[in-house]
């Protein structure tokens, strides 16, 4: 049996709790949007079309720098996680 | 005629700068904000002269081709305003005289004998690469939107029709039709109707303006919202990276403690703890310190599963072991994994490395 390590236990517990919480919140959010999007009333349809139009009109160029930063940070995080497992 | 031209020139020169700019833009001129007043006046007069030169029918051909709603009796300046808003680049259906007039209005020097293809090429060239890309992007968005909104865009376009002309019967005609009182009443009602229409148009214009403002504010709000979400994502990632670094640093420090295997030690063979087995890397090519430290534990099967995912869990009972030396075995006989030359086990009873 391997020796007890409080830090390892803590990080594993943190990973499980935070991961589960994020997944549940993400699924909840997606589900709410899905229900809102599928509603067939006049107002819901209008709102859905407005959201779709708004999303299409987002100027990607304005956020390119932010998106690049996020991609870079995500790559660093994945590398660090790989160092943990590898 | 000369006096009318002179009066217009005088009134033009009296116009304030912003109105001159707006007037120039409405005639299809590209004017920068910092253009001097004299230059503005010169270019507007040049454009007015060009409009005098161009045929009314040629300008009508352009608006008909672009299917702009307009009256046939519209003046040249009104036609020029509509033409200035046209961004269409498919010139099929536009007459030669219309094409020539369009090219001249866009500031191109069109020679009398120039053929159609050359004029079209010159027009496309003067559009500029960014405008072309923007037009293509809008066309793409239009296609997507049509699909999203399920709009039927495959309908055939009917023949173009001009807007009906405004007919204003005279008072005499009214009296002739309805008598004096009725005629005058109808005329007055017509004037009142016109007044109401004008006011309604004004109200409509104000509503449009307000809607544009609302749309602009909603757009700003949307951009701010997207920006905030991205910022939150960035902060989350940065915190996660910091925690991961902390965790990695902890692993590293723990591995440096006495009794554990450090990276400086030669990686050849490590002795197991009493009662346990160890995994050693022999002649590693690219094993990181983490790989070396992580394997020196008692829970060998799980470590081995992690390291060599493609291999089944080792079991001394049903595995062929290759003898490498006294109390030293290799499993399987030619086991290899990325970064490892060979995977070996020491027998739990092995007292010392060979």
Inter-residue contact B59 to B162 (CB < 8 Å): no
What pLDDT score was predicted for residue B235?
Answer: 96
Closest CA to B50 of B32, B77, B17, B26: B77
What pLDDT score was predicted for residue B125?
Answer: 83
Inter-residue contact B105 to B50 (CB < 8 Å): yes
Three-state DSSP at B279 gives: strand
Is the pLDDT confidence value at B297 over 60?
Answer: no
- Record the tokens describing residue A20, joined without a space: 């589960």
- Record the tokens describing residue B205, joined without a space: 């214009």
Per domain, the residue ranges of chain B are 2-149, 168-255, 279-346
Which of chain A's residues have a Cβ under 8 Å away from the Cβ of B238? Answer: 73
pTM of the model: 0.43
- Per-residue pLDDT, averaged over B77-83, amounts to 87
Give the helix, strand, coil percentages of chain B, each rounded to 5: 55, 5, 40
* B231 touches A: beta carbon within 8 Å: yes
Residue A85's Cβ-count burial label (10 Å; 0-12, 13-18, 19+) is exposed
Closest CA to A50 of B222, B78, B69: B222
Buried b (16+ CB within 10 A) or exposed e, B245-270: eebeeebeeebeeeeebeeeeebebb
SS (H, E, C) B135-186: HHHHHHHHHHHHHHHCCCCCCCCCCCCCECCCCCCCHHHHHHHHHHHHHHHH
What pLDDT score was predicted for residue B312?
Answer: 39
Q: In this predicted model, which residue has the larger pLDDT, A77 or B182? A: A77
Distance separating alpha carbons of residues B43 and B22, to the nearest angstrom: 13
Task: Choose the mutation target among B240, B253, B276, B301 for the interface with A, i.e. most A CBs under 10 Å.
Answer: B240
Query: Cα angle vertex B93, ends B90, B98, to 5°?
Result: 90
Q: In this predicted model, which residue has the larger pLDDT, A3 or B13? A: B13
- Record the tokens describing residue B294, joined without a space: 């992580």
Q: What's the pLDDT tens digit per position in B321-331? A: 444 544 444 44
For residue B247, give the nearest of A63, A73, A84 by CB distance. Answer: A84
- Tell if the CB–CB gap between B141 and A1 is shorter than 8 Å: no
Is the pLDDT confidence value at B349 over 60?
Answer: no
Residue of chain A minimizing CA distance to B276:
A1
Is the pLDDT confidence value at A69 over 90?
Answer: yes
- DSSP element (H, E) containing B345: strand B343-346
Q: What is the mean pLDDT of chain A?
A: 85
Task: Choose the mutation target among B133, B223, B305 for the interface with A, i.e. most A CBs under 10 Å.
Answer: B223
What percent of chain B shows pLDDT beyond 70?
Answer: 67
The alpha-carbon radius of gyration of chain B (Å, integer) is 42
Go through chain B and tell me how many residues it has: 354
- Tell if the CB–CB gap between B219 and A81 is shorter than 8 Å: no
- Record the tokens describing residue A9, joined without a space: 């236990």
Which of chain B's residues have a Cβ under 8 Å away from the Cβ of A66? Answer: 227, 230-231, 234
Closest CA to B238 of A80, A74, A19, A64: A74
Q: What's the pLDDT tens digit per position in B154-207? A: 556 677 888 887 767 777 887 888 788 888 888 888 888 888 988 999 899 899
What pLDDT score was predicted for residue B164?
Answer: 80
- Per-residue pLDDT, averaged over B121-150, amounts to 82
Distance separating alpha carbons of residues B246 and B240, to the nearest angstrom: 10
- Per-residue pLDDT, averaged over B74-100, amounts to 86
- Tell if the CB–CB gap between A73 and B244 is shorter than 8 Å: no
Is the pLDDT confidence value at B88 over 90?
Answer: no
What pLDDT score was predicted for residue B34?
Answer: 80
Q: What's the pLDDT tens digit per position in A8-64? A: 888 889 889 999 999 999 999 999 888 877 777 788 788 888 888 888 888 888 899
Is the pLDDT confidence value at B308 over 60?
Answer: no
């Amino acid at each position: 049996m391997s020796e007890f390590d409080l830090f390892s236990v803590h990080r594993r517990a943190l990973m499980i709790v935070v991961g589960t919480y994020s997944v549940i919140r993400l699924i909840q959010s997606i589900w709410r949007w899905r229900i809102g999007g599928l509603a067939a009333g006049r107002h819901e349809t209008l709102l859905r079309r407005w959201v779709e139009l708004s999303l299409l009109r987002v100027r990607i160029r304005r956020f390119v720098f932010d998106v690049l930063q996020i991609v870079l940070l995500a790559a660093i995080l994945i590398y660090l996680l790989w160092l943990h497992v590898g | 005629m000369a006096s009318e031209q002179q009066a217009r020139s005088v009134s033009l020169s009296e116009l304030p700068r912003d109105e001159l700019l707006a007037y120039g833009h409405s005639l299809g001129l590209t004017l920068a904000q910092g253009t001097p007043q004299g230059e503005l006046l010169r270019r507007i007069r040049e454009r007015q002269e060009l409009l005098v030169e161009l045929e009314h029918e040629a300008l009508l051909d352009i608006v008909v081709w672009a299917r702009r709603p307009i009256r046939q009796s519209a003046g040249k300046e009104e036609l020029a305003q509509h033409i200035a808003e046209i961004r269409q680049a498919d010139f099929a259906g536009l007459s030669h005289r219309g094409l020539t007039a369009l090219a001249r209005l866009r500031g191109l020097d069109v020679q009398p004998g120039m053929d159609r293809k050359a004029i079209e090429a010159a027009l496309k060239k003067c559009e500029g690469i960014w405008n072309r890309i923007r037009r293509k992007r809008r066309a793409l968005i239009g296609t997507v939107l049509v699909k999203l909104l399920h709009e039927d865009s495959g309908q055939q376009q009917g023949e173009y029709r001009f807007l009906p002309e405004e007919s204003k019967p005279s008072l005499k005609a009214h009296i002739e039709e309805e008598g004096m009182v009725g005629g005058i009443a109808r005329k007055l009602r017509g004037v009142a109707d016109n007044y109401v229409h004008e006011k309604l148009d004004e109200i409509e214009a104000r509503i449009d303006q307000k809607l544009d403002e609302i749309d602009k504010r909603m757009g700003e709000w949307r951009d701010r919202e997207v920006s905030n979400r991205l910022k939150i994502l960035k902060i989350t990632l940065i915190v996660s990276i910091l925690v991961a670094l902390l965790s990695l640093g902890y692993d590293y420090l723990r591995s440096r403690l006495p009794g554990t295997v450090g990276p400086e030690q030669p990686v050849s063979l490590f002795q197991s703890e009493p009662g346990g087995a160890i995994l050693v890397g022999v002649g590693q090519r690219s094993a990181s310190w983490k790989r070396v430290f992580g394997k020196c534990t008692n829970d060998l099967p799980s470590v081995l599963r992690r390291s060599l995912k493609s291999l089944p869990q080792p079991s001394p009972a049903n595995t062929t072991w290759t003898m490498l030396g006294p109390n030293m075995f290799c499993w399987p006989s030619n086991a290899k994994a990325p970064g490892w030359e060979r995977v070996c086990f020491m027998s739990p009873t092995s007292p010392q490395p060979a």
